Amino acid sequence: MSALNRLSGSTVLLAFCMATGALAGVMAQPLGHAAYLVGKLYLVVVNMAAMPLLVVAIFFGLRQVLDMPRPGRRIALTAALAVALVGACAVSGTLLGAAVMPGKHLSPQEHAQLGELVWSEGNALSENSVSLMESPDAGAAMGDGASRRESVMRGLLPDNFFRVLAQGNTLGILVATLLFGLAFASLSRERTALLDGIFESSYRALGIIIDRANLLIPVLAFGASAYLTSSAQAATLGAMGGFLLCFMLSAIVLSIAAMAVISARAGLPFLSVLAEMKGPLLVGLASGSATAPVPHAIEVMSARLGFSRGVAELALPFGAVFLRGGAALYFALVTLFVANLYGRPLGGAELVLVAAGSMAAAFVSAGHGGAANVAFAGLTLGLLELPVEAAGVLFVAIDLLCDGLRTVLSLLCVCVVVAWVSDGLSSERAAGRDGTAGRAPLQLAFSGMQLMLMGSCMVLAGLLIVLLGIGLGAR
């Protein structure tokens, strides 16, 4: 099984699956669609196991963090770093977009292609779609400001924990778990010993399920590549190539910067940290799921890089939902692309508004993933009175290419928070290695008198057994 795990996490194999998937999308579309369906089933299994695992991890993480020195300061530092990192990603995207100006230098043919796509898809959505029962998430994302605020408040403060569980509302589940976890952490360990054992067993079992499901990552990479090449139009990808290049390069640069910070805090070479982090990063890149790489990331950050396990178990589940640095970068570049596409010049004050709006949209979109992120770009576009339909049509077509890098950047931002907040705590890696190295074979040493006494006891015990057998036989 370990060989299969190494094979499924191989960078070469994933690249090969993506390349062959692209060919299958052009030459054998049914095969590509079948593989994409299997990949979607993988995401269903992983998300099914990841959510309860994250809930249990938050319970354990809260207890360990509250037992640390100055827990209030560490929790406040975690929140402040999360806001700062999301803001830094939003500002980076705004500055880069203002300098590169994606969407500004399109050829007339590319401009006409995008305009035709927006016009045709927009008319199809407005004329041919009839919704008898509107989805609450869709109405909140695309509706008026009051409905958005109501949806956000309902997600932050759920009035019924079982309802958010049934609906799969990630944001509401984690907020409710935080409240229950605080009450759980306030109890003594003697009173929660039985529950601790149940949680520990559940944690291990769910981790095994995710490890086994991750064997299907190459199938997901093959199917996603085939689906993209079979469904996307080459002209659309060419017209959006400037945006894709700008987003991918900026996400990679920011990810490298985050890895450098983690390497410095861990006191390890950059390549060593990259080798340890390869597993969760590949899971996030191939799946695009915010929760799928979290269990593996907790193990890597604590057992292999030496950061506090309590901080990792508390920050990584919450950060996967709330700390969306990749989404902030994406929203900023989307806004500037649409502004350049429609010839809207932006001044300094409007660029500040773009950065602030992208940061706010990243937090408001907490709990949503995939193409649902595109709808929340309307929050920033609405501030500049830009058409929201352009984002809804153009960026859904290429979202599959951006989803993995968004997830990777967001995950690394959370890992930076874990590395920074763990400052001053004992190294989990050092403790683990010392514990392994310090194990010695069990040795029993007896003196001569002790051996004689033990031998006499064994002889007497044997005689008693013989006499007992004789007595039972005589009866």
372, part of any domain: yes
User: What backbone torsions phi and psi does residue 69 show, to the nearest 5 degrees?
Assistant: -65, 135
Show the low-confidence residues of the chain (pLDDT under 50): 124-143, 430-442
Residue 441 domain-assigned (yes or no)? no
Q: What's residue 125's pLDDT?
A: 45
CATH number of the structural domain spanning residue 300: 1.10.3860.10
Residue 375 lies in a domain: yes
Within a domain: residue 446? no
246 in a domain, yes or no?
yes
Q: Which pLDDT belongs to residue 363? A: 87
pLDDT at residue 130, rounded to an integer: 41
How many domains in the chain?
A: 1
| 30 contacts 286 by C-beta, under 8 angstroms | no
CA 328 to each of CA 47, 190, 370: distance values in angstroms, whole numbers, following the listed order? 23, 44, 14
In this predicted structure, what is the pLDDT of residue 118? 67
Instruction: Please report, rounded to a whole number, the percentage of residues in the chain having pLDDT higher than 70.
Output: 75
Q: To 10 degrees, the CA torsion angle through 4, 10, 16, 21?
A: 70
Is residue 234 in some structural domain? yes
pLDDT of residue 153: 62
* Token pair belonging to 56: 């249990």
Structural domain boundaries enclosing 114: 2-432
- The sign one gets for the Cα dihedral 143, 146, 150, 153 is positive
439: in domain:
no
The whole-number pLDDT of residue 22 equals 81
Residue 129 lies in a domain: yes
What is the number of other CB atoms lying within 10 angstroms of the CB of residue 343? 8
